Chain A
Amino acid sequence: MQRKKECVAMLLAGGQGSRLYALTNNIAKPAVAFGAKYRIIDFPLSNCINSGIDTVGVLTQYMPLELNEYIGNGQPWDLDRSFGGVHILSPYQAKSRSSWFEGTANAIYQNMNFMKKYNPDYVLILSGDHIYKMDYSDMLRRHIETKADCTIAAIEVPLKEASRFGILNTNPDGSIYQFEEKPKQPKSTLASMGIYIFTAEKLFKYLEEDDADPNSSKDFGKNVLPAMLNAGERMFSYKFSGYWKDVGTIASLWESNMDLLGEEPAFDVGDADWKIHSRNPLAPPEYIGDSACVTNSMIALGCEIEGTVKNSVLASNVVVEEGATVIDSVIMAGTVVKKGAVVSCAIIDEDCVIEENARVGGEKTDDISIAVLGKKVTIGAGATVEAGKILDKDYKGE
């Protein structure tokens, strides 16, 4: 008997994420920390397992070491399987040719053998830079019902932002008649989320054709999807109405973290019916001291808080000393904010030290500008890092 999987997921995790600047100096974007204990890739991986998809290829290219280590054998997501499970797929040396992944479609094309091993009926393509909870099995059900060759998940976006996205123009039944990549004059506000389900044989056919085309830039949005549409394949949109955020920029990463806060958060990671799985830090419960004041914040295990923390997200083992203030900020694991220091409107990466009375970031304004410190940066005593400044090296002040 040939064993098979109905649906195999391919997660594009190779992007550099250059618009996250210092945060992606040494790690791939999907490995960037989010929401006090998670990494961005936890969301698509958790969505997969919660949707009953247990075979996931993770395509890595840029700075993959930390991401590979984080995913490991996939056990935190229940993706350690004897048949299926999570697999890291990196560029490789082949007999006839060897190359880096060029474009999203080429990355999938180069891993055709991985998919074919599972003899899937459908292939789900995901990207590793979005924060959302989505039941892919419902999307797959729609794909099967509509007898589609390709289904594209889509979300309504504000008109002024529509030209940043791939826009779907659809008929009332959801079928797509036009696909416009980043249009200057968008005809609709239905944006592609970069989540596709393909009927496997169609995907393989079009990937092969795309690979043979020397003029193609080997990209799903620019080449493969338009080619399928031109050939008259059945393409449908799948409307998604929940929380979805592309965290590809400093501002959106900060906003998305802030969306976790409040009594009725815009995005709830504590939903027991849709758990977000992650590799957990080994740390004792957080300690909130006598002089601490912690409000409207999310705090992870192992933190030691003696200062003031407001409207902020603190990852594991962060120390905020007495008299220090952290406000409207995202602080990643192991960072120390010393006495009298102030961190405001900032994203601070792992293992930074903010020395006494230093100041990072500015006041919260409508036109907010987030200060960023990369990994292991030390800000000297009394030094000031202005609003919106991005640093990846130690700074002692003027």
Chain B
Amino acid sequence: MANSTVGVIFSNIHDHNIPELSRHRTMASIPYGGRYRLIDFALSNMVNAGITTVGIVTKNNYQSLIDHLGSGKDWDLARKDGGIILLPPFSDETDAPYNNRLEALKGITGFLTHRKEDYVLISDCDGVAHMDIGDIVRYHVEKHADITMVYHEEPDVDSSYYMTFAPDETGRIRGLKINGNVTEGKYNCYINVMVINREFLLDIIQDAVARGLTSFGRDILVKSVDTLKLYAYRFDGYYAGINSLQKYYKHSMELLDRKVRAELFGARDIYTKIRDSAPSKYNDDAVVKNSLVSDGCIIEGTVENCILFRGVKVGKGSVIRNSIIMQDTVIETGVTLDCVITDKNVVIRDRRHLAGCAELPYFIAKGRML
């Protein structure tokens, strides 16, 4: 089944959700979980399902993504046939790069036309989950669906971010709405992972271009909900939807829960770029509690309820709590941090005290020195 599926990942489409972290990079390359980027979860799900060709749709600021992916070898996707295929913005002479998903899809029709797989698995990079993609494709085939959309139950406060629907007893999607809910309750939210027949997708794109449609959701999915065979696949596992800095912080901290880690990392491998960092060192004065620590760290201070990315240094007498400290950040001596997110390569000089709160973590941009 997997051999008949080609992956497509949209790396940019939710960039505006977390402007803090995506100012210099794509959504796909936002660091997550100590040593990963968001795209690693989507890519690993595909690789673990045996998918060997993944097209990555990019728009802008994708230098960090190219750097991260390299040849694709760290995901076993450096292949003669297929592998990782970067799909940079494509535009006719008159057009600017794409503005929406439909235009983006139009830009990759060449890629889609030349593939031989029957199905396309389309995924965005705004979610962290361990998903059995083989099972989703099987479901799609069994239902003879045109499109299968994966959903997860989310509380009302989040559901306005998503498309929501109410599948009938056969799994057929009914009542598809976009950003609609204000009343309390739980909603079936489309989490931006779908399976679609490749030929059918090409037809839709051609038709949409001919008719000047602009929105894949509004103009195609919502309008054709009763004529197309749209099916819903329920995902019940752990799902972290990353649609704001607050959500990024909240879900990151959930990784300190053993059960969440077991589900995300336990049953399979999550692939990521190899950096050949040395193992982390804990010195005599180190006090580390309830924290995730990546390789290359040197810890001489106190670290509680934190996620430390690769190559972080925590100096003597510094106390870091409830914080996410990204790659190569240097925290000198006598610093206290509470509810802080530092982007990469931040330097916090001696005896600085910084604090945010869980609802509004204090964010320090890439490369800043305080």
Residues of chain A whose beta carbon lies under 8 Å from any beta carbon of chain B: 35-37, 75-76, 261-263, 269-270, 275-278, 280, 282-290, 292-301, 304, 309, 313
Contacts and interface: CB of A to CB of B under 8 A. Distances in A.
Contacts of B291: 287-288
Interface string B105-145: 00000000000000000000000000000000000000000
4 tightest A-B CB contacts, nearest first = A285-B34, A36-B279, A270-B278, A282-B269
Nearest to A297: B282
Contacts of B300: 263
B282 A294 contact: yes
B91 interface: no
Contacts of B73: 75
A292 B279 CA distance: 18
Given A75-B73, A286-B280, A294 B292 contact: no
Given A263-B283, A288-B292, A298-B280, 11 more contacts: A76-B276, A276-B276, A278-B276, A284-B265, A285-B307, A287-B258, A288-B288, A288-B289, A295-B284, A296-B282, A297-B282
Nearest to A37: B279
B288 A292 contact: yes
Nearest to A312: B282
Nearest to B44: A282
Interface in B275-310: 276-296, 298, 300, 303, 307-308
Contacts, number: 105
Contacts of B280: 286, 298-300
B223 interface: no
Contacts of A282: 269-271
Nearest to A275: B276
A294 B279 CA distance: 14
Given A37-B295, A282-B269, A288 B290 contact: yes
Chain A interface helix/strand/loop/mixed:
loop
B276 to A, nearest CB: 5
Given A36-B279, A286-B280, A280 B292 contact: no
Contacts of B256: 287
A269 B298 CA distance: 12
A129 B199 CA distance: 58
B37 interface: no
Contact of A290 (B283, B285, B289, B303): B289
B261 A287 contact: yes
B252 to A, nearest CB: 12
B152 interface: no
Contacts of A36: 279
B274 interface: yes
Nearest to B295: A301
A295 B282 contact: yes
A293 B285 CA distance: 11
A275 B295 CA distance: 14
B35 interface: yes
Given A270-B298, A282-B271, A296 B292 contact: no
Contacts of A298: 278-282
B288 A285 contact: no
B241 interface: no
Contacts of B258: 287, 304
Interface in B157-188: none
A263 B298 CA distance: 9
B292 A284 contact: yes
B276 A288 contact: no
A42 B91 CA distance: 47
A294 B282 CA distance: 7
B7 interface: no
Contacts of A286: 280, 292-294
A304 B256 CA distance: 11
B33 A285 contact: yes
A293 B288 CA distance: 7
Tell which of A261, A269, A295, A309 has the most Cβ of chain B within 10 Å. A295
Contacts of B285: 295
Nearest to B256: A287
Nearest to B274: A280
Contacts of B294: 285-286, 301
Contact of B290 (A290, A296, A309): A290
Contacts of B298: 270
Contacts of A293: 287
Contacts of A295: 282-286
A298 B283 CA distance: 9
Contacts of B303: 288
